[in-house]
Amino acid sequence: MRLEFAGLVLVVAGVILLVVLSLPRKTRRGRDLRDIPGFRRLRRAIGLSVEEGSRLHVSLGKSSPANANGAASLAALAALERVARMNSLGDRPPIATSGDGVLAILSQDTLKASYRLANAAELYDPDRGRLGGATPISYIAGALPLTSTEHVATHLLVGSFGPEVALITEAAERRGALSLAVTDSLPAQAALYATAGESLIGEELFAVSAYLRAGAAHTASLRVQDIFRLVVIGAMILGALLKLLRILL
């Protein structure tokens, strides 16, 4: 019961902080975020894909939003929406692949919403949000042909993957395409560090939409994470000290 109460306090504190930090501030927009070269390259690649008529592939991972790793898939959908809106008027709109049925349907829905918000609903094609495969390996096998077909020049891999995702990034690198990957899985992070053009670590997964300027709420959620991180660090140090002094057993 104590743990549940602590969880409830965390959720309420999170909501309050998110609301407060989402309010407009006097400081210049965009200066709150530290520079991450991977995101700089991604923004440039999105701009270039519109100019050059190349395509962007957004890989959303294999986890259903209803699973324990669902937050990674939800962050991936937020990134997809932003990429689709930035790229909706290009000659070759982005393709989203996923390794789960629910995620595939949500990716189609997200693409549809992006086109509607960009006043280009008639350009929406449901085939642009597709299931790669129903198992982790078949998903990679299904998404792999995109490295050599459909004029894809940039691969953005955001979500929950296994180390097998390295097959996509390795193939993309061989073709000279840019691959930017970020995942919540530790083995996949190691594989991606060795194979992807740009790889991001850990919680940077949840920063993709904020760095693509998705809105104040996304930037505020990064600041809430920072505040909570400081609280966790403080609690850990305090716990260690109390244990050292034998106050806490």
Partner 1 sequence: MRSPVSTAIAMAVGLIVLIGYFIPNSIVGPIRSLILDWAITLAAIAGLVAILNLTGVHWRKISDKRNRDFYSIFLVLAFWGTFLAGIATKVMGVPSQLEYQRVVTAIQQPIESSLMAMLAISLAYASFRLLQRRKGLMAVIFVISAVVFLIILSGLLSFGSNVPLLSPLINFVNLLPVAGARGILLGIALGSLTTGLRILMGTDRPYSG
Site for partner 1, residues 131 to 160, rule: CB under 8 A = 131-135, 137-138, 140-142, 145, 149
The residue range among 24-32, 49-57, 84-92, 96-104 that interacts with partner 1, by the rule CB under 8 A, is 96-104
Q: What does the alpha-carbon distance between residue 1 and residue 238 come to, in Å, rounded to a whole number? A: 23
Residue 232 Cβ vs partner 1, minimum distance, rounded to whole Å: 6
The number of residues in the chain equals 249
The residue range among 27-35, 47-55, 86-94, 226-234 that interacts with partner 1, by the rule CB under 8 A, is 226-234
CA 135 from chain centre, in angstroms, equals 21
Q: In the complex with partner 1, which residue's Cβ is closer, 61 or 142?
A: 142
Rule CB under 8 A: is residue 123 a binding residue for partner 1?
no
Q: What does the alpha-carbon distance between residue 182 and residue 41 come to, in Å, rounded to a whole number? A: 14
Residue that is written with structure tokens 């991180």 in the block: 229
Q: Which amino acid appears at position 133 of this protein?
A: G
Residue 95 Cβ vs partner 1, minimum distance, rounded to whole Å: 10
Q: How many CB atoms lie within 10 A of CB 90?
A: 19
User: Judged by CB under 8 A, how many residues of this single chain contact partner 1?
Assistant: 77
In this structure, are residues 90 and 226 in contact, taking their beta carbons and an 8 Å threshold?
no
Residue 27 Cβ vs partner 1, minimum distance, rounded to whole Å: 20
Q: In the complex with partner 1, which residue's Cβ is closer, 27 or 149?
A: 149
Instruction: Among 72, 86, 143, 212, indicate the residue that binds partner 1 (CB under 8 A).
Output: 72
Q: In the complex with partner 1, which residue's Cβ is closer, 10 or 242?
A: 10
Rule CB under 8 A: is residue 62 a binding residue for partner 1?
no
Distances (CA, A) of 109 to 17, 33, 72: 29, 29, 17
Among 45, 69, 72, smallest CA distance to 57 is for: 45
